[in-house]
């Protein structure tokens, strides 16, 4: 048997590879897409997404993969910029336009074509503008209507579509307001879009517009809530400073206790002795800032007394957790923080106040603040005694774990000290 020339083998291999690619392309062309099902699936998914950019990213990705086109992009109206921006682009490198690369004013030709009534009437297919239709439109305008303005606009649209390697543009309207334009590149099979596909894109665009508007409204509400929340937090900080004005010996104490408490909670999560939702840390922060707010009701001569308090004076001081809750309870936003304010002087052995809770009955938020509060008190100078060193304070907390303090936050405190984070 004679040897097959190497060149022939290379040619045969090349033909085989091309043939496989051809088979894949033919298979893809004949793979029927259930557009109704795809639309229903996409619509259900859109309802759950409240981020406009994430929403259009998923929609564009779906179009590229399902309809098998080279690339797709979406021009999205951004209210804060009062402009249309190419927010997302997906597909083959070299074909797609980078996201954020293009910004469209309301006078841009593509935007005008879909927004101004005199131009919207020009489109042959009311659901989209196809590049192959543009020359036909231009011819109609020059022969039938003789409107140079329309001709120029259509020329500009054609040039812009070519620049974006787009063969079709599909508008997405909400209450007759253009929210987005979907730009579609060529299909992988090189064929044009048929009516079924255009109808699918139009229906999809309608759902996208509704979902985008809902997402934008959600984001607006979130921004407003965040703004109000920031104001609320700043108000709580100012409120916490009120007690420091009254009690000269606690200047800076509230902030230090809060910072230490959050560090302890983070360490408890890190060493897996506790598991917290993210909002727990914010509730802890607020409770730490406000844990002594009830001292506003304690006379200054008692707060600033040099020396040991009498039994009656101490009983007045012991009322400050209850006073704190009475002051803060009308604010519903503070509901999750009130336990930290009310119970931060409870002891693990049940000898604390105001209710004598013990062990695991003490809310963890209060147990953490208790350790942080005592640690900062121990290392702070008072008129009647100098502060301990951090090493001494940590050792004291360790000695009282299981009696005065909950052992778990004490363990976290020790770990933080060993790491040099206190």
Domains of the chain, with CATH numbers?
33-219 (3.30.450.40), 229-418 (1.10.3210.10)
CA distance 361 to 350: 10
Cα–Cα–Cα angle for 253, 256, 261, nearest 5°?
120
**Does residue 354 have a cis peptide bond before it, meaning omega lies within 30 degrees of 0?**
yes
Average pLDDT of 275-298? 90
The pLDDT of residue 341 is above 70: yes
pLDDT at position 390, please?
Answer: 96
Q: What ranges make up the beta strands (E) of 1-82?
A: 71-78
pLDDT tens readout for residues 155-173: 888 888 888 888 888 888 8
Q: Give the residue from 11, 25, 42 showing the smallest Cα distance to 210.
A: 42
Contact assessment for residue 106 and residue 179, using Cβ atoms and an 8 Å cutoff = no
Contact assessment for residue 243 and residue 295, using Cβ atoms and an 8 Å cutoff = yes
pLDDT at position 394, please?
Answer: 97
pLDDT at position 65, please?
Answer: 77
pLDDT tens readout for residues 169-217: 888 888 888 888 888 888 888 888 887 887 888 788 777 777 777 777 7
Q: Sign (positive/negative) of CA torsion 195, 198, 202, 204?
A: positive
In this prediction the pTM is 0.52
Percentage of the chain modeled with pLDDT above 90: 29
CA distance 59 to 54: 9
pLDDT tens readout for residues 64-119: 877 788 888 888 888 878 888 887 666 665 555 555 567 788 888 888 888 887 77
The pLDDT of residue 404 is above 90: yes
């Amino acid at each position: 048997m004679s040897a097959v020339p190497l060149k022939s083998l290379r040619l045969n291999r090349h033909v085989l590879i091309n043939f496989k690619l051809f088979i894949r392309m033919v298979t893809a062309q004949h793979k029927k897409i259930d557009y109704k099902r795809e639309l229903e699936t996409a619509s259900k998914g859109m309802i759950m997404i409240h981020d406009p950019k994430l929403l259009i990213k998923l929609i564009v990705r779906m179009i590229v993969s399902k309809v098998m086109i080279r690339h797709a992009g979406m021009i999205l109206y951004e209210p804060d910029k009062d402009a249309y921006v190419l927010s997302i682009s997906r597909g083959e490198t070299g074909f797609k336009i980078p996201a954020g690369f293009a910004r469209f004013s309301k006078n841009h030709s593509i935007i005008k074509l879909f927004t101004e009534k005199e131009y919207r009437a020009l489109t042959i297919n009311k659901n989209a503008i196809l590049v192959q239709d543009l020359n036909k439109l231009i011819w109609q305008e020059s022969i039938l209507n003789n409107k140079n303005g329309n001709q120029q606009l259509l020329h500009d649209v054609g040039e812009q579509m070519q620049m974006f390697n787009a063969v079709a543009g599909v508008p997405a309207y909400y209450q007759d307001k253009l929210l987005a334009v979907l730009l579609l590149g060529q299909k992988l099979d090189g064929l044009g879009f048929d009516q079924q596909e255009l109808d699918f894109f139009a229906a999809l665009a309608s759902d996208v517009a509704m979902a985008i508007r809902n997402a934008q409204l959600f984001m607006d509400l979130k921004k407003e809530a965040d703004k109000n929340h920031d104001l609320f937090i700043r108000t709580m900080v100012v409120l916490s400073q009120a007690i420091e004005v009254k009690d000269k010996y606690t200047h800076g104490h509230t902030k230090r206790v809060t910072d230490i408490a959050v560090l302890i909670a983070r360490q408890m999560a890190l060493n897996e002795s506790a598991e917290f939702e993210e909002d727990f840390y914010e509730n802890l922060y607020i409770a730490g800032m406000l844990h002594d707010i009830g001292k506003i009701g304690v006379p200054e001569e008692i707060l600033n007394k040099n020396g040991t308090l009498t039994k009656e004076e101490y009983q007045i001081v012991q009322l400050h957790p209850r006073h704190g809750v009475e002051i803060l309870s009308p604010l519903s936003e503070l509901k999750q923080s009130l336990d930290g304010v009310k119970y931060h002087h409870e002891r693990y052995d049940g000898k604390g106040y105001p209710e004598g809770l013990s062990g695991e009955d003490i809310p963890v938020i209060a147990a953490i603040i208790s350790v942080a509060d005592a640690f900062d008190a121990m290392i702070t100078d008072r008129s009647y005694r100098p502060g301990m060193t951090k090493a001494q304070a940590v050792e004291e907390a360790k000695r009282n774990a299981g009696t005065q303090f909950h052992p778990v936050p004490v363990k976290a405190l020790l770990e933080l000290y060993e790491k040099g984070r206190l």
